[in-house]
Amino acid sequence: GAVVSQHPSWVICKSGTSVKIECRSLDFQATTMFWYRQFPKQSLMLMATSNEGSKATYEQGVEKDKFLINHASLTLSTLTVTSAHPEDSSFYICSARGDPKGESSYEQYFGPGTRLTVT
């Protein structure tokens, strides 16, 4: 159980275009989803936290107008990178949690990641 999928797994786009990444919890309802970014040989950096039906909470330094997050249902969250530039090339990973109290030991499950390359 507790499977999280991401689509696409790999995408190349031209500078100035927008890219949408989907994150789905396949066998549980995710009340909270997290979006991370990871540059080569660096750790995961939390970009934003989204709760179903409400606006996402962005971490300091993350542009909310550039990284649009929508958590329209309990099983789907999307991250749209708008007007992408080469410096946005990174590995984007989503994570989902199904326990609304957030107290269980390892209730945060990670998707397989999306590698974005902006040319």
Partner 1 sequence: GQNIDQPTEMTATEGAIVQINCTYQTSGFNGLFWYQQHAGEAPTFLSYNVLDGLEEKGRFSSFLSRSKGYSYLLLKELQMKDSASYLCAVRFRKKLSFGAGTTVTVRA
| 104 and 40 Cβ atoms separated by less than 8 Å | no
Nearer to partner 1, 44 or 76 (CB): 44
Which of 42, 73, 83, 117: binder of partner 1 (CB under 8 A)?
42
Which of 26, 112, 117, 119: binder of partner 1 (CB under 8 A)?
112
Collapsing DSSP to helix, strand or coil, 1 comes out as: coil
Site for partner 1 in 44-73 (CB under 8 A): 44-46, 49
Give how many residues touch partner 1 by CB under 8 A: 22
The total number of residues shown for the chain amounts to 119
Collapsing DSSP to helix, strand or coil, 113 comes out as: coil
- Asked if 79 interacts with partner 1 (CB under 8 A), we say no
**DSSP tag of 62:** -
Those residues whose C-beta lies under 8 Å from the C-beta of residue 17, and which sit 6 or more positions away, are 83, 84
Q: Which stretch binds partner 1 (CB under 8 A): 14-22, 65-73, 77-85, 88-96?
A: 88-96
Structure tokens at 102: 């957030």
Binding interface with partner 1 (CB under 8 A): 32, 34, 42-46, 49, 91, 93, 95, 97, 102, 105-106, 108-113, 115
